[in-house]
A and B are shown apart, each in its own frame.
Chain A
Amino acid sequence: KLLGMPQTPRQILRASPEETPRDANPANVGLELFGYVGIEAVLDQMRIKTMKTGFEFNLMVVGQSGLGKSTMVNTLFKSKVSQKPTGPDYEERIPKTVQLQSVTHVIEEKGVKMKLTVTDTPGFGDQINNENCWDPIIKYINEQYEKYLREEILISRKRKIPDTRVHSCVYFVPPTGHWLRPLDLEFMRRLSKIVNVVPVIAKADTLTLEERAEFKKRIQKDLKAHGISVYPQEDFDDNSDDRILNNKIRDKIPFAVVGADKEHQVNGKRVLGRKTKWGIIEVENPAHCEFPLLRDLLIRSHLQDLKDITHNVHYESYRVQRLNESNLLVLSPINGLLGKDEVESNL
């Protein structure tokens, strides 16, 4: 049996007052209030605070050129977010390597301010040899984590650390109707480990509803077979309510979307849509395409969740990995007493 271990300073500090909150009543006492106190006012206080500080949201769009990424972003945010000219006369110059271009805008709606950064990835999948074309993207995402980490470990750090981490990566799958291509699988497999990946079927107006359903089923099977966990990830469902809600979403992933930034007249109303000889595809009509579902997921219901998962899961994984890397350069533990695992948990 070991002799009495001297207590660490931390233990001594916590033990000096007689009881600490953790030990005081292990089963926290639930008490009933005899009347209204006003605790729920804290919700309003929180609302006011967040309205004042505003929100940040960083979106990345990945896919081959011509799949309608820029148009989609413009449709999502109902404004000219992407500065790319979109139109039939525009000839896009495909860069020789994957570039990353970010634009940042401040948008406001009903008093809520949002700093939106959209990162585009021209050149992805456009070369003849696309090996490792995901590398610049992975590098960029990790760079943002690194930036945040460095800010976080400063001694004198900012009150609000600027958040440039990518909260969601929308991946555009070409509407082949068959299966996911090797490039799609490779990309999503690697990136779903470090960022929230939301795959969408681009230019879905080339698929009939049946073809769409079949395609989706095959994609879902493919993703499962390769162990690719896209957003919303099953592992991060908070509670059973969340699970029910997210299961419904998971059933429909990937959303079949159509983007449009022009308005047309349909039944006396102005709607966003694509005009073709055989009809007008209404982007916001759930019967025509699933754009509303994508918008609801990304913006109206799960935006905060996307940010939380990025911060609590992906960023933390990066941090753990990064802090363990430094371990390799340290002299081997003295007397072989400490294994790597112990150092990990004891820092």
Chain B
Amino acid sequence: QHKRSGECQNDNCRPLSLSGHVGFDSLPDQLVNKSINQGFCFNILCIGETGIGKSTLIDTLFNTSFDDRVSTHFQPNVRLRAQTYELQESNVRLKLTIVNTVGFGDQINKEDSYQPIVDYIDAQFEAYLQEELKIKRSLYNYHDTRIHVCLYFISPTGHSLKTLDLLTMKNLDSKVNIIPVIAKADTISKTELQKFKIKLMSELVNNGVQIYQFPTDDETISKINATMNGHLPFAVVGSMEEMKVGNKMVKARQYPWGIVQVENENHCDFVKLREMLICTNMEDLREQTHARHYELYRRCKLEEMGFRDTGPENKPVSLQETYEAKRHEFFGELQRKEEEMRQMFVQRVKEKEAILKEAERELQAKFEHLKRLHQEERMKLEEKRKLLEDDMIAFNKRKAATELLQAQAFASTPSVSLKKDKDRKK
């Protein structure tokens, strides 16, 4: 028997006033401390053509030097290269994974360019889903590889989005938070930039591309986020080289006509990007990935596998049925694989048998052949022996005849000369 008095409907619970300090105001700190102990994960995907400045921008954003490798323009297809780094700032440990698209936009035929990216993002969701569905799982120390933000690098043509850009973003906007940036913004003048930004945003809107909007529901950050939303896409310049401007060393790019300072807000939007991406909205990006994009993936995937929340008569499907169905499917799959393996095995055995039989036959033939040869040799030898025997008989006959003749000759000559002959014979 269970009674619930003071039953709460959603958040309209009976409020109670405290007559003194209880101390649960330390809860946010308790939670934060736990997170500090665990560390944070953040995964950035950079999409852009080769040489557009992805690696440089990431280096500049995190004020460090990541991977130095420069890619060629001759990749046959688009690949994704992911690298994980451990960064630490004061007591915050960040496991940062940077995923770069290698060879994006380089092919002559770009039809398949965006598919590897979609596949990669889905694969990370799938890995998480698999872990979540396991019976014995350990989600709390799972290394989350799901992409939290996608920085899309737009070429600074000054005109409009490329078809490839539109196509790619359209295929990704329901799977990942997209923040478009205008790369190498130091090639565009201020007025051109304004027109370019407006054109880009209107193209995105007209094509129904959902880019990430900085959240405006929390009063502390809604104002700045709303302002920043109006500056999208951010025009960025990246550089790790330092130059002396005034009496400070600043990150900049030096041209004959002047110095473009990366952290000067009049020169480019780099500071805005860093502010929004890292300082203000990192947590929201992670949450949106988990609560929106991942949930969508999960829902679609489970529905695709045939699971439903309500059965055929609109009655809720029990937990048992859900897992049994999955188990049946799994067994079916297992059976099929087993059958496949068995077939393969039988096939291999047959092949091996055939080979062995063939070898045996060959061996037998050789043996017969050798036997025959041997036989022939033997016969030849027999013949030779016979000849030899005949010869021997003939020789013995002649010898006997000669001896007889000698004996007769001996009888008719004097004994001295016989002795001499004998000596001579000896």
Contact = CB atoms under 8 A, between A and B. Distances in A.
Contacts of B120: 16-17
Interface stretch (A109-117, A198-206, A220-228): A109-117
A46 B143 contact: no
A41 B27 contact: no
Contacts of B20: 78, 272
B216 interface: no
Given A33-B87, A38-B279, A324-B135, A102 B19 contact: no
Contacts of A149: 319
A343 B340 contact: no
Nearest to A296: B23
B218 A140 contact: no
Interface in B17-38: 17-32, 34-37
Given A31-B66, A300-B24, A136 B1 contact: yes
B278 A41 contact: yes
B24 A303 contact: yes
Given A17-B120, A104-B6, A329-B324, A320 B280 contact: no
Interface SS, A side: mixed
A335 B31 CA distance: 49
A16 B123 contact: yes
Most buried by A among B25, B43, B65, B280: B25
B64 interface: yes
Given A101-B5, A154-B309, A18 B79 contact: yes
Contact of B18 (A20, A28, A78, A97): A78
Nearest to A157: B295
A106 interface: yes
Interface in A90-129: 97, 99-112, 114-115
B147 to A, nearest CB: 10
A34 to B, nearest CB: 5
A287 interface: no
B324 A330 contact: yes
B227 interface: no
A338 B251 CA distance: 61
A334 B331 contact: yes
Contact of A43 (B2, B32, B331): B32
Contacts, number: 317
Interface in A8-41: 10, 13-14, 16-22, 24-25, 28-41
Range, interface on chain A = 35 or more
Given A34-B63, A155-B308, A3 B344 contact: yes
B39 to A, nearest CB: 11
B145 A316 contact: no
A83 interface: yes
A38 B302 CA distance: 38
Nearest to A103: B6
A266 interface: no
A51 interface: yes
Contacts of B338: 334-335, 337
B23 A295 contact: yes
Contacts of A320: 135-136
Interface in A281-310: 295-296, 299-305, 308
Interface of A: 3, 5-6, 10, 13-14, 16-22, 24-25, 28-43, 45-52, 54-55, 57, 76-81, 83, 97, 99-112, 114-115, 136, 140, 149-150, 153-157, 159, 238-239, 272, 295-296, 299-305, 308, 312, 316, 319-320, 322-324, 326-327, 329-330, 333-335, 337-338, 343-347
21 contacts: A3-B341, A28-B85, A28-B95, A30-B85, A30-B88, A38-B275, A77-B22, A78-B21, A79-B16, A99-B2, A100-B1, A104-B14, A106-B16, A107-B15, A107-B18, A296-B23, A345-B134, A345-B136, A346-B330, A347-B135, A347-B323
